[in-house]
Structures are given as structure tokens and as C-alpha cells.
Amino acid sequence: MRTILQDATLLSPNPNHPVQRHMDLVIQDDIISGIYPHHLEHTRHDANTRVLNARHWLVIPGLVNSHAHSYMAYFRNYGSGLHLHDWLFTKIFPAEARLTQEDVAWGTAMGLLEMLRGGITAVCDMPLIPQAGMRFAEESGMRVATGFSVFQTEFNPPSCKTIFSEFEANYAQYHNRNNGLMKVFATVHSGYLYPADVLAEGAAWLVQHGYRVHTHLHETRKEVEDDLLLFGKRPIQRFAEMGLLSPKNIAAHCVHLEEEDRLLLKKYGMLAVPCPTSNLRLAAGFPQLVAMKEAGVNYALGTDGQSSGNAMDLWKEMRLASLLSSAQTNNPGAFADWEILQMCTSTPAQHLFAEENETMGVLEVGAKADLIAVNTDAPHFTALNDPLSAAIHHTLPTDVDWVMVNGEVLYEQGQYTRLDEEHIRYEVQTRSKRLLHGLA
Ligand SMILES: [Zn+2]
């Protein structure tokens, strides 16, 4: 099957040509097979070719959400006005204790539905009950990296124990399933949720077996101060000593970093993932993206869950990353717009999802066809002087018209091709009432 996007404006995380106007982009099966100026005769059309008029479209690599808790749709806008620890322990954990497997499944479906609608084609997810969400992860057709824990009853640390064989079975079942779209990481929620000896045992096993780890690190000042009191070390130092910092691993937030922390993140090639909305809303702090760039740290962006982040909207996160960085450094050019786009496309796509022989997150011949189109035929895109600035600074999720993952169209002009929007929204609306009933 061949698709041609005709006369599009292409936006790339590439300093040499971030914007290319009047271009034809050809997709053959799951790969970008050609990029040509629109006026050139380049491809023979036959019965297997679909031609789309892309004159009003900004065509962009699919966005990658590098840190999310997709199942949390039920708790959207719930527990506002609290610091992270109060919010987590007095609001979220009691509500989550009521979740059944089916609740988690439908909540995950809602997260995937919302992300696709806004142009997110891949997500690094940290679920509560991962098995429950897998059927929708597979059905969605998106790239989904799911975290399975190696710690049992992680919300009840006194009885916490390691469960390695269960993790191995899930890894065997789900890693690279669905034509390689699904990946499995090990969830190490944080340094503060498990007893220290259990964490050390789990870390040693994960390192020994080479599994990839998704964790939260240095989200709040309290997390860092508690570790200094308890262990005389900062969490990143502890994680480095346990072998949990690695180019294959990913740490959400990384808000409170000193120079020594940035040096460790850089040394081990760890992917740091600030979630600006969540970090600001929980008063965790201001992400320090410019300092990360200057220190040579790898970084990407995430939405976090819908409760702390309110929405799974990476357009908002890119905008905030840009605005915060400008204000923090008194430099409106702290990040070029293509660098902001890079945080949600090439950097995380390549780091989290690409196998050795695969290219992702770019508009190049030979790259995987994970693509989205933003419709600029709207008042807020008129006049369109700088399309890349428009994409970063005022695109809304509802501006996304068309989403393709691995060569398959998953959303087009208001319609999902795989997910049942009406059913998913009904289930989540109904279940949310039950889950929050009677809670303060
Ligand atoms: Zn999180």
C-alpha cells in the first residue's frame, strides 16, 4: 500500500531544514519512501496508491509521550491544590485502591484514545496493573512501552517482595508483540516507595539480566532531602550505585538537579523526562531544561497522568518547555523551535522505541512512517508566517486531522479506525463516578 501526502508543509526536528513547504511525502507500507518538491513528477499512481491533499497540513513526525500513567483518566482534575506527597498518599492511592482490572483496562483505553486524538503515536507508560491495559495497547495500534514491576504490592511496602519470574513471563509475552510496536520496561516507581533492601535486590537482578528501567527521580525537593537524611546520598547517586542509570533507561521529572546530578545523568546517558504541567501543578518545581542541554544530558517531555497533568497534551508541554526556558534564562531563543520538537519526536522515538536498524521520529527516506497532520485551515493559524512556531506555540490537540503509526492510519478527520470512542468514553464516565463516590 502506498500513500502520498501531496503539497504538504513538513516540520522536522532538524536544524538544517526544520520547515519545507510544498512537498510531497510518499509512504510505502510502514516506511517513508520518498520526499519530493511538489512540482516534480515522481510517483506513478495505481490502484494501490492513496493520494491525500495535504495543502493545509503541517506534517510532523508522530509525537512521543515519554512519561505517562494512561489509566488515570478517572482521576482527571481530582485532588487539585496539593503537594505531590499529600496528593499521592491522601488522594490518589486511596482512590486507586478501588480500581479493578477492568477499570484499569478502560482507563488505559481512554488514555490511548486521548493521546491519539492529539497526535501522540507512542507512549512510555507506567501502569498500575499492566496486564489489564495490554489488550487496548495492542488494539490501539500505537507504540506502547509498558512497565511491569518487579516488586509485589508496591503500594504496601512492608509486605513488598520481588517477583522476578512473573516479570520474566510478562516480558516473554509482551515485549516486541504487535510487529514490534509493544515494548516492556521494568517499573521501578521511585527510590522512596520500596524498602531499601528490596529495591537493592530488584535493581541487582534487573541489571544482571539487562532489562530496561522506567522510574521517577528527583521529582521533589523532599525526595532529595529525605534520601540525604536516610542514606547520606542524593537519589541519583543511589541509583547510579545500584546500576540503574543507563543509556537504555528513563527517569521521569528530574526537576531538582545539582551539577553533580546532571554529570551522572550525562555520564550514564540516561533519558531525563520533565513533565512541565505536572511539575508546576504539584508545585514540584521548575524543570531545568536549559541546564540539562548545557550539561549534555539527554531529555524528552512527558504529560504524566491525567490527574497531575490534567490532559495528555504534548503541544501544551512543548509550549511550556519553550516558555519556561526563555523566562528562566532571560533568553527568548533559549531553545530553537526545532529543538523543542526534538524533545517529543526524534530523541525519545530513537531512545525508547527504535531497534538498532530502525530510524524513527524524523521525516527522512527510510524512517518509520509514524506521522501526524495538523490542519491549519483555521483562524488561529491565519496568517501562517512561521509554521514551526505555530506548531509549538498554539497548536491544540483538536487541530490534529490525521494520525499514522507504522504505516497504518489510526485516526482520520474525527474518526478512529481501531478504537471505539463512544464505548470507551461511556465506560470511563460511568466507572469514574463509582471510583470517586464518597471520597473527599
Ligand atoms: Zn509519573
Query: Exposed, middle or buried by CB within 10 Å (0-12, 13-18, 19+), for 357?
Result: exposed
Rounded to the nearest angstrom, the distance between the alpha carbon of 308 and the centre of ligand 1 is 9
Phi and psi at 372, nearest 5°, equal -135, 160
Distance from C-alpha of 390 to C-alpha of 383, rounded to nearest angstrom: 10
Rounded to the nearest angstrom, the distance between the alpha carbon of 303 and the centre of ligand 1 is 9
Rounded to the nearest angstrom, the distance between the alpha carbon of 424 and the centre of ligand 1 is 23
According to DSSP, the β-strands at 415-416 and 408-412 are antiparallel
CB within 8 Å of 417: residues ≥ 6 apart: 141, 408, 409, 410, 411
Q: Which fold has domain 2-61+362-416?
A: Urease, subunit C; domain 1 (2.30.40)
CB within 8 Å of 317: residues ≥ 6 apart: 275, 276, 277, 301, 302, 303, 344
Task: For the chain, give every domain's residue range.
Answer: 2-61+362-416
Rounded to the nearest angstrom, the distance between the alpha carbon of 365 and the centre of ligand 1 is 35
Rounded to the nearest angstrom, the distance between the alpha carbon of 170 and the centre of ligand 1 is 21
Rounded to the nearest angstrom, the distance between the alpha carbon of 67 and the centre of ligand 1 is 6
Rounded to the nearest angstrom, the distance between the alpha carbon of 191 and the centre of ligand 1 is 13
Q: How high is the pLDDT of residue 43?
A: 76
Rounded to the nearest angstrom, the distance between the alpha carbon of 144 and the centre of ligand 1 is 16
Strands ordered across the beta sheet of 298-299 = 63-68, 120-125, 143-149, 182-188, 213-217, 250-253, 271-273, 298-299
Ranges in the chain, pLDDT < 70: 153-159
Rounded to the nearest angstrom, the distance between the alpha carbon of 61 and the centre of ligand 1 is 24
pTM for the full predicted model: 0.96
Rounded to the nearest angstrom, the distance between the alpha carbon of 392 and the centre of ligand 1 is 23
Rounded to the nearest angstrom, the distance between the alpha carbon of 188 and the centre of ligand 1 is 11
Rounded to the nearest angstrom, the distance between the alpha carbon of 219 and the centre of ligand 1 is 9
